[in-house]
Amino acid sequence: MPFSAERAVPPSMPLTSTQLKNLENHNYSCAGRSLAEYPLQYFWNWLVRFVPIWVAPNTLTVIGLAINTLSTLVLFYYTPHASETAPSWVYFLCAISFFVYQALDAIDGKHARRTNCSTPLGELFDHGCDAVSLAFVGLAVPCSMRLGDYPLYLFISYLTTLVVFYCAHWRTYICGTLEFSQIDVTEAQLSMMMVHLVSGVCGPEIWRKTVFSWFSMDIDIQFILLNVSIGAVIVSVLRSIQIVLKGGQGKNGSTIADTSVLSPSIPVLVVLFLSDYIYRTSPAQILQTQPVIGGLLIGFVCAKLCINLVIAHMSKSGMVLMDHILLPLFAVYVNIFIGSPVPEFYWTSLMMAWACYDVVSSSIKVCQQLCVHLNIYCFYVGKRSPPSPQADPAVPQT
């Protein structure tokens, strides 16, 4: 029986037939360039020439993610409560690894065009790795600044970082183009590297140095950076509101998928509500005393939501508003709500592992589906053998 677009997709397959078709026809669109990108482009264009032609672009992306994640895990090992001082070499390792990740993330697209293997999978893979990486590096910076001694600072700074990234893809879902301002992600990444370098040279105590006093209150560097972070969130949210009020590229001002421009706010508001409740009411103060475990739980949840938003944008489809990735965070909420019958540390650790598994397993399934549908390999330059005409492209072939 010939393949039909209306045919039901097996439950194990995350993408529908219509989404796969739209992803196949997706074209990457971006506008603008930040200030730091102009000089860095010369370096990235020089660097990509040293990448062997036989190396797949996605391999560069995943290597950068692995290096960045491993170095961050080393930092977490020495600073599990974000209040300890790690050896200087750990901060230097994080800075260098983040620089390597940024470089590989910047040249993977150049290498894809160079090898004539640019595909929608590459864009989705790139943004997905960025979302996962942010869950780690967004928490690594507070660890380098020893913000665990000021848990509210840490909680706010981490959440604001996640929200800014989400809003950027929300705007893309509305207008169809990923827009960069003069101060954007590249500058944020360079700032994060600088934090690690300064902590390595001067020690994390430098961030508590008083800059000036104002109305009998000592203003330290941490306070200034926190307010800058909050300011970035306000600007990002205001830009999103402006785009929402202007209307999207879909029918009657809707998103490019002809869905409500406000719909992507639902899952992120759920995350903010649950996170705030856990922070305020946890008897064990789990987010205050275990910021790495609790933060990674929230980070993995937001990473999956961002990936869903990217898929919705690229496939011109409605976003999954109540994804099961919210269940681990909701389970922590329920445990606290009923009086914490399960010790919070063990329960939160288990939910964090569940959220991590959910992100990884669902991402693998999406990549497998796209590879089969596009007849390509994820980590190899070349085409697969064409599928049988009777094969359903929504189902991976064995």
What is the spatial distance between Cα 368 and Cα 398, in angstroms, rounded to a whole number?
11
**The pair of three-digit structure tokens given for residue 41, joined into one six-digit string:** 């482009």
Alpha helices in 12-87 (DSSP H): 17-24, 37-47, 57-78
- The secondary element (H helix, E strand) that includes residue 127 is helix 120-144
Query: 127 catalytic, yes or no?
Result: yes
CA distances from 252 to 79, 316, 364 (A): 51, 16, 36
Strand partners, 219: 212
Rounded to whole angstroms, the Cα distance separating 359 from 326 reads 11
Give whole-number Cα distances, 352 to 10, 18, 71, 121, 124, in Å: 27, 32, 19, 27, 24
How far apart CA 328 and CA 326 sit, in angstroms, is 6
Helix or strand run (H / E) with residue 217: strand 217-220
Helix H or strand E encompassing 329: helix 326-337
Q: Which of 127, 169, 196, 373 is catalytic?
A: 127
Q: Coil, strand or helix: which one is 219?
A: strand
State the alpha helices, DSSP H only, in 145-285: 151-175, 185-202, 221-246, 265-281
Q: Is the separation of the CB atoms in 304 and 162 below 8 Å? A: no
> Which residues carry out catalysis?
127
